[in-house]
């Protein structure tokens, strides 16, 4: 399954955010949208997910695709525990399945000990990790993430990116994410799209050819890519 974005237009009043925008994404790679605030990255993600309707153009992919979407905001229900917030996306599943998936997902984001806590008792970073666990539990065909590592410290970010990569290897969802952080982009993405705008345009596409298993142990292999991204930025 590939995803094709064909001649997309999206405006807010006089502001043209997407204008005749085209992009082809390959499911076999993890994609990163990298660019300054306000260039249209979140609008693009919302159009791709069907949250926003484009003014014209089309998104071509399977019609029955299920999305696991991690928003910039945690979007947790404050009257539900961590466990209940994750289980919310599994309402039609058997209780035994729900229990197993929730525990597995919380373990991946290192929150097993906080399953009975309410969101108000958690830090912002922990609440974001609950959102990531919920996306894991849902197991959508597409994993779309809008700055999923914002506000997290380096070690935790790396652990979460390792978990996301492991999840991707196991389930092979169509995966793309937004970040402003060069190190985050280089740690997990295969293809990085350097964006500017509005209206949004692709300045450059960078293909990362360093194997994922070497990016943590041999970060020096990424230095040339980092210098290129720093120069563009």
The pLDDT, as a whole number, for residue 63 is 66
pTM assigned to the model: 0.88
The pLDDT, as a whole number, for residue 103 is 94
Give me the average pLDDT of each 10-residue run along the chain (233 residues): 86 92 91 89 90 90 81 89 95 91 91 95 89 91 88 80 87 90 91 92 92 89 88 64
CB-based contacts of 224, cutoff 8 Å, min separation 6:
none
Q: Where are the domains of the chain?
A: 1-63+144-157+173-233, 67-139
Distance CA 111, CA 129 (A): 8
DSSP string, the chain: --EEEEEEEEEETTEEEEEEEEEEE-TTS-EEEE--TTSSHHHHHHHHHTSS--SEEEEES-TT--EEEE-SS----TTS-HHHHHHGGGTTS-HHHHHHHHHHHHHHTT-GGGTT--GGGS-HHHHHHHHHHHHHHHT-SEEEEESTTTT--HHHHHHHHHHHHHHHHHH--EEEEEES-HHHHHHH-SEEEEEETTTTEEEEEEE--S-HHHHTT-GGGGHHHHHHHHHH-
The pLDDT, as a whole number, for residue 190 is 94
Asked if residues 40 and 200 have their Cβ atoms less than 8 Å apart, the reply is: yes
How is residue 70 written in tokens?
Answer: 């991690």
Parallel, antiparallel or unpaired: strands 31-34 and 15-25: unpaired
Distance CA 191, CA 168 (A): 15
Q: Looking at the domain covering 1-63+144-157+173-233, what would its CATH class be? A: alpha beta
Distance CA 7, CA 5 (A): 7
Q: Is the dihedral of CA 195, 196, 201, 202 positive or negative?
A: negative
The pLDDT, as a whole number, for residue 148 is 86
Strand 3-12: give its sheet, edge to edge: 15-25, 3-12, 56-60
The pLDDT, as a whole number, for residue 233 is 56
Distance CA 110, CA 92 (A): 26
């Amino acid at each position: 399954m590939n995803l094709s974005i064909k001649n997309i237009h999206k405006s807010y009043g006089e502001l043209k955010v997407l204008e005749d925008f085209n992009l082809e994404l390959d499911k076999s790679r993890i994609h990163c949208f990298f660019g300054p605030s306000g260039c249209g990255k979140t609008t693009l993600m919302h159009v791709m997910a069907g949250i926003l309707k484009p003014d014209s153009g089309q998104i071509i992919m399977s019609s029955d695709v299920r999305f696991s979407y991690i928003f910039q905001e945690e979007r947790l229900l404050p009257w539900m525990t961590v466990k209940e917030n994750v289980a919310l996306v599994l309402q039609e599943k058997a209780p035994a399945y729900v229990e197993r998936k929730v525990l597995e997902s919380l373990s991946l984001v290192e929150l097993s000990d906080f399953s009975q806590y309410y969101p108000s008792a958690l830090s912002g970073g922990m609440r974001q990790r609950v959102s990531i666990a919920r996306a894991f539990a849902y197991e959508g065909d597409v994993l779309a993430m809008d700055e999923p590592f914002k506000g997290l410290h380096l070690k935790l970010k790396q652990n979460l990116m390792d978990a996301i990569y492991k999840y991707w290897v196991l389930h092979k969802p169509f995966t793309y994410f937004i970040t402003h952080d060069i190190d985050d982009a280089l740690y997990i993405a295969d293809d990085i799209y350097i964006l500017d705008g509005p209206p949004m345009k692709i300045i450059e596409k960078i293909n990362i050819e360093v194997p994922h298993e070497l990016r943590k142990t041999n970060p020096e292999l990424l230095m040339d890519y980092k210098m290129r991204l720093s120069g563009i930025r």
